[in-house]
């Protein structure tokens, strides 16, 4: 497994710490406690095979034979989670947080609804990967495959961001050390700021925090870290804990 350069690892960890202690906060968000009596309402849109597992049929789902990914099971246990295919009824959903995890191509109405919702005070965590390496048994062009690259450019550009692919697509696995969490992933992208952007980037440029109107969004230029096939074991990956921290940060 290849480690990122120490400079990038240290810079990313330091930036997360700054975000967590900013805005007059006396304590870091607690990402270790289990779900409460009033869990956050989370709406999730994703093309990743984490909800039912790749290739699950309706019979599998009805018969209880589908296999959700470990990170999805974690979210189900911790949050009031709802997987959605559209955000046109976002006001009716009333989520506390929206998670976009390498979502499928979204129509203009969905993008406009999300932007308006965030500007009105919504909170969003965006995991968008420019070079997803997630293995799939389905052929290229099959809409059951996860998207190979993030397709949120219209929304990102509206927020003053550009998603960039990694310079070395063949670098293999990468281990990130972030805030004491060990994250295994592959093909990490970066962000670039445009003029008049209201976003701040980590030193490694893989994380962005944006204040958009009355709302906020935290973006990570990677989604492969959710893939349990990259983990040595479920207990040794902190992928779920990282998402908890991002959610805690954006909702505090």
Q: Per residue in 38-48, pLDDT tens?
A: 899 999 999 99
pLDDT band at residue 148 using 50, 70 and 90 as cut-offs:
confident
Rounded distance, CA 178 to CA 242, Å? Answer: 8
Residue 26 covered by a domain: no
pLDDT band at residue 7 using 50, 70 and 90 as cut-offs:
very low
Residue 179 covered by a domain: no
Most confident of 50-59, 65-74, 79-88: 79-88
Residue 10 covered by a domain: no
Point out which residues pair with 178 in neighbouring strands: 181
Residue 129 covered by a domain: yes
* Biggest alpha carbon–alpha carbon distance for the chain: 52
**Is residue 180 over pLDDT 70?**
yes
pLDDT band at residue 55 using 50, 70 and 90 as cut-offs:
low
* pLDDT at position 27: 44
**Is residue 34 over pLDDT 50?**
no
Bridge-based pairing of strands 97-101 and 123-127 is parallel
Mean pLDDT on 205-232 = 92
* pLDDT at position 10: 36
| Helix pair angle (239-251, 70-78), 10° resolution | 40
Range of the domain at 197: 39-172+185-251
What global pTM score does this model have? 0.83
Encoding tokens for residue 206? Answer: 């893989």
The number of distinct structural domains making up the chain is 1
Rounded distance, CA 191 to CA 35, Å? Answer: 32
Residue 226 covered by a domain: yes
Residue 21 covered by a domain: no
- Nearest alpha-carbon partner for 68 in 46, 35, 96: 46
CA-based Rg of the chain, rounded to a whole angstrom?
17
Residue 149 covered by a domain: yes
Q: Which residues of 225-246 are buried (b: 16+ CB within 10 A; e: fewer)?
A: bbbeebbeeeeebbbbbbbbbb
Residue 14 covered by a domain: no
pLDDT band at residue 29 using 50, 70 and 90 as cut-offs:
very low
Identify the CATH number of the domain in which residue 68 sits. Answer: 3.40.50
């Amino acid at each position: 497994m290849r480690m990122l350069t120490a400079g990038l690892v240290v810079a990313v960890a330091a930036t997360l710490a700054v975000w967590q202690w900013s805005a007059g906060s006396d304590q870091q968000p607690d990402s270790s406690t289990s779900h409460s009596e009033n869990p956050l309402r989370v709406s999730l849109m994703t093309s990743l095979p984490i909800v039912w597992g790749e290739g699950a049929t309706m019979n599998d789902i009805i018969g209880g034979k589908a296999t959700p990914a470990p990170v999805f099971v974690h979210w189900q246990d911790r949050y009031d989670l709802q997987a959605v295919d559209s955000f046109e009824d976002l006001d009716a959903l009333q989520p506390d947080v929206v998670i976009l995890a390498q979502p499928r191509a979204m129509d203009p109405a969905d993008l406009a609804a999300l932007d308006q919702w965030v500007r009105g005070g919504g909170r969003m965590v965006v995991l968008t990967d420019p070079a997803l390496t997630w293995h799939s048994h389905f052929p290229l062009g099959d809409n059951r495959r996860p998207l190979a690259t993030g397709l949120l450019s219209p929304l990102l550009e509206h927020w003053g961001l550009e998603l960039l692919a990694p310079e070395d697509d063949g670098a293999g696995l990468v281990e990130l050390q972030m805030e004491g969490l060990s994250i295994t992933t592959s093909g990490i992208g970066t962000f670039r700021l445009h003029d008049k952007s209201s976003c701040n980037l980590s030193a490694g440029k893989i994380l962005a925090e944006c204040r958009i109107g009355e709302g906020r969004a935290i973006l990570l230029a990677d989604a492969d870290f959710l893939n349990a096939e990259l983990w040595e074991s479920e207990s040794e990956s902190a992928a779920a804990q990282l998402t908890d921290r991002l959610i805690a940060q954006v909702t505090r």
